Amino acid sequence: MVEIRLHNTKTRRKEVFTPIDPENVRMYVCGPTVYDRAHIGNARPVLVFDVLYRLLRHVYGADHVTYVRNFTDVDDKINARAAESGRTIAEITAETTQWYLDDMGALGALEPTVMPRATAYIPQMVRMIEGLIHLGHAYEADGHVLFAVESYARYGALSGRSVDDMIAGARVEVAPYKKNPMDFVLWKPSSDDLPGWDSPWGRGRPGWHIECSAMAYELLGESFDIHGGGNDLMFPHHENEIAQSCCAHPEGGFAKVWMHNEMLQVEGKKMSKSLGNFFTVRDLLEGHDGAPGVPGEVIRYVFLSTHYRKPMDWTAEKAAQATQTLKEWFRLTDGVEPDSKGAMTIVPDLSNDLNLPNVLQKMIHFAHHGQACELKWALDFLGFTPSSDWWHEGKLEEQTDYGFSHVSWTGTMSPEIVDKLSALARRLVEVRWNAMESKDFSEVDAIKHFLGQAGVQVRMSKTGVEVTPGDDFDSSKLEGSA
């Protein structure tokens, strides 16, 4: 069996991964709060843990891995969005959840085995909170239930902070009902205009951290293998999850391995709305602020080309390079059967704490040495199956009222470009028809010239028009009108 080694935040070391139960390898990753489109930073943990999920399925068998990623559908940001938009919370969370699945699907991410919504687990959260109160780890105060951090000696161990340091560093105003300033909310009261559930402490709603603890316990048990998320979640979110889960279920150890991805930046800067470099996955896919859309596979390539424990920079330059590489790979592997010999080269690097930069280098090597079948295996394995964004060699023939229009191409082409070319071809068919009547061929010539400057060859016959992008075809020159 392949030996997987993973960097464990808990021990700050790369460790050999040994599942608690190889028949059911279990992983939990913190998912999104669903009130808006996912930004491109949110895609990083999705893609990192997607590759880990694929690796685990490869090593332990597809039916022997359980991957849970939650949707946080109760949160004050959602309430605020509902209040300002006049829409219902249910509408907003349902719409945003579907957007998230569509956007991450476009990046080639597999869906996790289970995707629990927090609001479907409220009774389980209440039960866990009751247990924590019972065991002396939580207390009720002023309609709230708070976790008492001093009741858990290992509080702060994951992020390597002491409670005293945390208090010193905290700049937040401390609620008067807290016994210790670091105590955090498990349950809070809801006014009538806010979502709420009946509980032993009155009508209210859960705090964020208890959601993950309760869902992980219900779906994966008191101990499981891997817990993941971005490193911005390490404190306080993950620290609080550990405290809650280990105190409520002292018989279990919660997650054995903790994995954290580093943050994403844009062109060397932190992504932020005020810097104007903030964009969503959908913006990237569809094009934004004058920039053309980027196929999901290209986004995936750029993300995977930086090791997950290093800060990652999204740049237009990297996207352009990735496009060239993928174009070449898809061309080389078109119609090729995958050869699992590719696994021998790829899997050892992946198993070494997901060394994807090395994996991509080896794929470049495959391409240079004509190992198309191995390359195809690696592409399939990593989720680089060319979607409809990449059309292989093909043709599109349409019969119009004025004759046929025919577009044919070799290599890969995006459907957008195919659409553009076929629209131009249809227009040419119509214009040619009119010109035969009027004997004015100026518009015909204009379109032919426009296509020509973009490197597209045009053949006209009595029955129609044939359009073929040549070797020097430059799709960017199709911008604007003929």
**Of 8-16, 241-249, 263-271, 293-301, which segment contacts ligand AMP by CB under 6 A?**
263-271
x/- letters, 202..231, toward ligand AMP (CB under 6 A): ---------------------------xx-
Using the rule CB under 6 A, is 233 a contact of ligand AMP? yes
Q: From residue 209, how far is each of 62, 91, 291, 319 by CA, in Å?
A: 30, 24, 38, 36
- Rounded Cα gap, residues 349 and 356, in angstroms: 7
Q: Which two tokens stand for residue 215?
A: 């869902």
Among 30, 138, 158, 425, binds ligand AMP (CB under 6 A): 30
Question: What is the biggest distance separating any 2 CA atoms in the chain, rounded to whole angstroms?
Answer: 93
Min CB(181)–ligand AMP separation in Å: 23
Min CB(263)–Zn ion separation in Å: 17
Using the rule CB under 6 A, is 112 a contact of ligand AMP? no
The partner in contact with residue 44, picked from Zn ion, ligand AMP, none with C-beta cut-offs of 5 to 8 angstroms by kind, is ligand AMP
- By the 10 Å C-beta count (0-12 exposed, 13-18 middle, 19+ buried), 307 is classed as middle
Identity of the residue, 76 or 317, whose beta carbon is nearer to Zn ion in the bound complex: 76
Residues numbered 64 to 103 that lie near ligand AMP (CB under 6 A) are none
Total residues binding ligand AMP (CB under 6 A): 15
Identity of the residue, 212 or 444, whose beta carbon is nearer to Zn ion in the bound complex: 212
Identity of the residue, 33 or 371, whose beta carbon is nearer to ligand AMP in the bound complex: 33
**Of 39-47, 159-167, 326-334, 350-358, which segment contacts ligand AMP by CB under 6 A?**
39-47
Using the rule CB under 6 A, is 264 a contact of ligand AMP? yes
**Of 38-46, 274-282, 412-420, 464-472, which segment contacts ligand AMP by CB under 6 A?**
38-46
Residues lying near Zn ion in the complex (CB under 5 A): 30, 212
Among 6, 8, 26, 42, binds ligand AMP (CB under 6 A): 42
Identity of the residue, 285 or 454, whose beta carbon is nearer to ligand AMP in the bound complex: 285
Identity of the residue, 212 or 246, whose beta carbon is nearer to Zn ion in the bound complex: 212
Using the rule CB under 6 A, is 267 a contact of ligand AMP? no
Min CB(406)–Zn ion separation in Å: 54
Positions in the binding site for ligand AMP (CB under 6 A): 30, 32-33, 41-42, 44-45, 229-230, 232-233, 261, 263-264, 271
